[in-house]
Amino acid sequence: MSKKSLAQQTTERLYTMIAVERQITPGEKLPNEIHLAQDLGVSRTTLREAIHRLVSQGLLEVRRGRGTFVTQEADSINDYGFSDLDQVRGQLKDLFELRRIFEPSAARLACQRATEQEMADILAKGEEVDRCIREGRDRTQADRDFHASIVRATHNEYMMRLLPMINQAVAAAVETGEQKEQLAEDTRRDHALIMDFFRKGDALGAEHAMAVHMHHSIDVMGLD
């Protein structure tokens, strides 16, 4: 895999936050430059270059004296029709079949390609899911963030474009009315195994562990 410049990586990360993960929505102002640079782990110079690239692509606009804002163009980026959770619920079986095919391979690639910072992020996100479950808090966003951190670490643009579907499938699974406790228990155990393989740098193990996690989710939710 060709080496990408830090500015290019930052551009892709910022693009994903806006267009795929929807962390910053159309019309919303970007966070303070210092804080955003710290969150992304880059210098302000690198961040400015990434912002400049997204401005040239029409995803961001600089409003003099006010800051940098997400344009309405971000709304037109295809989420593959899965923006409505009710619609997702009716298609859970298909979505989880997709996850069973897609996410184990994503885990393998992420384990092989993740930078040191990305690996640390994957593990931190996984620990946050575990904390949410142990403390009885809603884990929807934490679970999304964990799976998204793995997909981002594949460094595959088209895999990242599938994130809206993965996010909605995760949300639907977490919010499903039945088998919540069993699903939470399986998630804690499965995530722990996945993270263990990531720590060891065992890509094949991470792939198998993710496949087991998908199987457990599908089985508990009665989607087979």
**Over the chain, what is the mean pLDDT?**
85
Task: Tell me the CA end-to-end span of the chain in Å, nearest whole number.
Answer: 36
Neighbour tally for 110: CB within 10 Å: 27
Write down the domain spans for the chain.
Answer: 6-76, 85-220
The predicted pLDDT at position 158 comes to 85
Residues 6+ apart with CB under 8 A from 94: none
pLDDT value at 103 more than 50? yes
Which CATH code, of 3.40.50.620, 2.40.30.10, 1.10.10.10, 2.60.120.580, is assigned to 6-76?
1.10.10.10
For residues 153 and 114, is the Cβ–Cβ distance under 8 A?
yes
Does the pTM surpass 0.85? The reply is no
Residues 6+ apart with CB under 8 A from 87: 81
Q: What's the maximum distance between 2 C-alpha atoms anywhere in the chain?
A: 56
The predicted pLDDT at position 209 comes to 97
pLDDT in tens, 121-164: 999 999 999 999 999 998 888 998 999 999 999 999 888 888 87
The band of 220, judged by pLDDT with boundaries at 50, 70 and 90, is: confident
How would you classify the pairing of strands 67-70 and 60-63? antiparallel
Q: Find which of 16-20, 91-95, 170-174 is predicted with most confidence, using mean pLDDT.
A: 16-20
Q: Would the CATH topology of 6-76 be identical to that of 85-220? A: no
The predicted pLDDT at position 124 comes to 97
The yes or no reply on domain 85-220 and CATH 3.40.1350.10 is no
Integer Cα distance of 42 and 19 in angstroms = 20
The band of 76, judged by pLDDT with boundaries at 50, 70 and 90, is: low
